[in-house]
Amino acid sequence: PRVASNQPAMPAVRAAPPGPTAVAAAKPPVAPPMVRDGGWRLQLGAFGDPNNARKLWGQVGGRFPGRSVSYVKQGNLTRVLVGPYASRAEASGACGGVSPCVPVSK
């Protein structure tokens, strides 16, 4: 025999149909500023151990957005050069507290 329940029957619950999914519009990539090559670079250091040259760039590279680093072997030293810059004045202005930081021409 079945025993009747004292609790009222639960109404069936329907899941709401999925609504439209909002898709965020992708932002276009931000292009780095145009860089004119006037033949100027910044020398940030010269190291007997090339690993130290790379280590320096790892520490200060974020201060030079849109610029490229070059490691130039000269004798027993590896120079760290950053650029290009359009003029000596532009290169000097980019030092921003990084020392040593010497403008050099190609």
Q: Which amino acid is residue 18, in one-letter code? A: P
Tens digits of residue pLDDT in 56-68: 999 999 999 999 9
Assess if residue 23 is contained within a domain.
Answer: no
Can you give the pLDDT at residue 49? 98
Neighbours of 53 (CB within 10 A): 23
Q: Is the pTM of this model over 0.85?
A: no
| Residue indicated by tokens 């990539």 | 29
Give domain status of residue 33, yes or no. no
Residue 28 lies in a domain: no
Could you list the residue range(s) of the whole structural domain that residue 76 is in? 40-105
- Alpha-carbon distance of 101 to 44, in angstroms, equals 5
What's the confidence (pLDDT) of residue 39? 92
For residue 95, what is the domain's CATH number?
3.30.70.1070
Does residue 59 lie in a domain region? yes
- Specify which residues 70 forms β-bridges with: 81
Domain count, the chain: 1
pLDDT tens-digit map of 3-46: 555 665 655 656 666 655 555 555 655 545 555 678 999 999 99
